[in-house]
Amino acid sequence: AQSVTQPDIHITVSEGASLELRCNYSYGATPYLFWYVQSPGQGLQLLLKYFSGDTLVQGIKGFEAEFKRSQSSFNLRKPSVHWSDAAEYFCAVDNSGGSNYKLTFGKGTLLTVNP
């Protein structure tokens, strides 16, 4: 079955430390890949997306993600975490190649940032 896996349910890091959130997908072809962030009381905000081309994509708020076809992964990274980054992060996949734009989401990773 097609799926998106975020192995880490909850991650705690110290402010200023680096961050990597993992995402793996199981689809036959290269899907469209997204990372969203959800803060309490707010809608999901798009951090970055990958459709094709350069496998390292830059997003907002200093985030980046790298698509690795051989590992079916699209991990999110940030070199130095800020307290305001505490939120829930979702990886999502559109495996239709952009034809119907339906997203399949992972279960999310909750990020806690310690001062």
Q: Does 46 bind another protein (CB under 8 A)?
A: yes
**Closer residue to another protein, CB minimum distance, 53 or 115:** 53
Q: Does 51 bind another protein (CB under 8 A)?
A: yes
Q: Does 52 bind another protein (CB under 8 A)?
A: no
Applying CB under 8 A, among 12, 18, 26, 45 the residue interacting with another protein is: 45
**Using CB under 8 A, which residues numbered 54 to 93 contact another protein?**
90
- Residue by residue, DSSP assigns 41-108 as TS-EEEEEEE-SS-SEEE-GGG-EEEEEGGGTEEEEEESS--GGG-EEEEEEEETTTTSS---EE---
Kindly indicate which of the ranges 11-19, 46-54, 59-67, 69-77 contains the residues binding another protein, using the contact rule CB under 8 A.
46-54
Contact, 27 vs 2, CB < 8 A? Answer: yes
